[in-house]
């Protein structure tokens, strides 16, 4: 298969390229990435000679038309992905997440190419801490932030193009990923690199908010299961039963880095902060036979910490600017 991977220089997209190169070397890969602040060609350095890299935007209709016209499947990771940024300035989220997805949809419609759209559990809004229910493909959409509402909008565009124009597409909605190459603006890498840089970790509010953590390689093995065996027009939820509150995660990071339990600051909470996400991945497991490999969060987190320790040259140049932005908001 000839894969067009959008957003392949970002966190999950770059890991997808590495995963695909080693697990499915029979596929050829073209990456389309705009190299925004979140994209980093260095994340692809070790596979650079095995793939084609195109620097450009998913909202560039002429470029997208040309690239889609010479691939078999588009795997669409490209997005503005950070909630806190969307609260500061929503406009790039509209451009990339809505217009970019629309641009790809028109190209796959024209060329009869399959699309797999990567999305998030945040489209469902949040759950109460004691709610026994988890998100399922039947949960109504109820996004909270500019980021999650643009992802919800992009999912609905994909569904409409399937129904109205008969395009061949699948959607996956995944929970919070962790692993190597994640930008230092995100929770886990921010706290790890704070400790490594001699700064105190920062916890929003009380730390009771729950996220359903999954290792990025498990997300990507699920994407491959959907590419191989997913049914046209279907939505699959991806999660690995990894619910933990933020204080628990931070405490584990501190322990693994040999820091005292209380060596962090409570900072201003995120506005509209979603309380809890939780995925019911029964459909993915039963229908496609997918199972996660990284079932021990402590082991996965330890490996992630090692990666940031060993790859300071990858994250150090990003760190000061990110911390300056947070500091300006008391975070």
Q: What are the catalytic residues?
A: 121-122, 147
Q: 235: which strand partners?
A: 171
Distances (CA, A) of 52 to 1, 116, 188, 262, 294: 14, 19, 30, 47, 30
Residues 146-185 that bind ligand DAU (CB under 6 A): 175-176
User: What 3-state DSSP class applies to 65?
Assistant: helix
**Any contact of residue 187 with ligand DAU (CB under 6 A)?**
yes
DSSP secondary structure letter of residue 195:
H
Residue 77 interaction partner, one of ligand NAD, ligand DAU, none, beta carbon < 5-8 Å per kind: ligand NAD
**Any contact of residue 199 with ligand NAD (CB under 6 A)?**
no
Q: Which is nearer to ligand NAD, 42 or 259 (CB)?
A: 42
**Any contact of residue 224 with ligand NAD (CB under 6 A)?**
no
**Any contact of residue 103 with ligand NAD (CB under 6 A)?**
no
With a CB cutoff of 8 Å and minimum separation 6, the contacts of 217 are 15, 19, 179, 293, 294
How many Å from the N-terminal Cα to the C-terminal Cα in the chain? 45
**Any contact of residue 188 with ligand NAD (CB under 6 A)?**
no
**Any contact of residue 135 with ligand DAU (CB under 6 A)?**
no
Residues 250-279 that bind ligand DAU (CB under 6 A): 270, 277
**Any contact of residue 201 with ligand NAD (CB under 6 A)?**
no
**Any contact of residue 74 with ligand NAD (CB under 6 A)?**
no
**Cβ distance 294 to 215 under 8 Å?**
yes
Q: 119: which strand partners?
A: 173
The two structure tokens encoding residue 171: 């959607």
**Any contact of residue 78 with ligand NAD (CB under 6 A)?**
yes
Out of 4, 29, 47, 57, point to the residue binding ligand NAD (CB under 6 A): 57
Q: 203: which strand partners?
A: 266
* x/- map, 138-157, ligand NAD, by CB under 6 A: -------------x------
Q: What share of the chain is helix, strand, coil (3-state, %, to 5)?
A: 45, 15, 35
**Any contact of residue 219 with ligand DAU (CB under 6 A)?**
no
Strands 2-6 and 73-76, how do they pair?
Answer: parallel
Out of 3, 79, 105, 158, point to the residue binding ligand NAD (CB under 6 A): 79
User: What 3-state DSSP class applies to 196?
Assistant: helix
**Cβ distance 270 to 87 under 8 Å?**
yes
Out of 76, 109, 190, 319, point to the residue binding ligand DAU (CB under 6 A): 190
CB of 309 to ligand DAU, least distance (A): 19
Distance CA 88, CA 265 (A): 22
Binding site for ligand DAU (CB under 6 A): 81-83, 120-122, 175-176, 186-187, 190, 202-204, 209, 211, 246, 270, 277
Binding site for ligand NAD (CB under 6 A): 6-7, 9-13, 32-36, 38-39, 57-59, 77-81, 96, 100, 118, 120, 151, 174, 176-177, 183
């Amino acid at each position: 298969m000839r894969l067009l991977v959008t957003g392949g220089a970002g966190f999950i997209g770059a890991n997808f390229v590495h995963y695909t190169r080693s697990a499915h070397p029979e596929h050829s890969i073209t990456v389309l990435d705009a190299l925004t602040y979140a994209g980093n060609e260095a994340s692809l350095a070790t596979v650079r000679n095995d793939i084609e890299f195109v620097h450009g935007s998913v909202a560039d209709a002429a470029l997208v038309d040309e690239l889609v016209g010479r691939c078999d499947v588009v795997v669409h990771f490209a997005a503005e992905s950070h909630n806190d940024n969307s609260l500061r300035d929503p406009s790039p989220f509209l451009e990339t997440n809505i217009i970019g997805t629309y641009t790809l949809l028109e190209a796959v419609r024209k060329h009869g190419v399959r699309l797999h759209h990567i999305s998030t559990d945040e489209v469902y809004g949040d759950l109460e801490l004691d709610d026994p229910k988890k998100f399922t493909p039947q949960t109504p959409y109820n996004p909270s932030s500019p980021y999650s509402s643009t992802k919800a909008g992009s999912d609905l565009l994909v569904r409409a193009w399937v129904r109205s124009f008969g395009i061949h597409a699948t959607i996956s909605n995944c929970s919070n990923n962790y692993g190597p190459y994640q930008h230092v603006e995100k929770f886990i890498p921010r706290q790890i690199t704070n400790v490594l840089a001699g700064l105190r970790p920062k916890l929003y509010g009380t730390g009771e908010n729950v996220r359903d953590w999954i290792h990025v390689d498990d997300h990507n093995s699920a994407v491959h299961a959907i590419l191989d065996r997913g049914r046209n027009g279907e939505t699959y939820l991806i999660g690995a039963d990894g619910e933990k509150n933020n204080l628990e995660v931070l405490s584990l990071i501190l322990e693994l880095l040999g820091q005292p339990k209380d060596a962090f600051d409570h900072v201003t909470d995120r506005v509209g902060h979603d309380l809890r996400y939780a995925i019911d991945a029964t459909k993915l497991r039963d229908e496609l036979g997918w199972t996660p490999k990284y079932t021990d969060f402590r082991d996965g987190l330890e490996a992630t910490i090692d990666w940031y320790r060993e790859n300071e040259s990858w994250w150090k140049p990003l760190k000061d600017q990110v911390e300056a932005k947070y500091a300006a908001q008391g975070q």
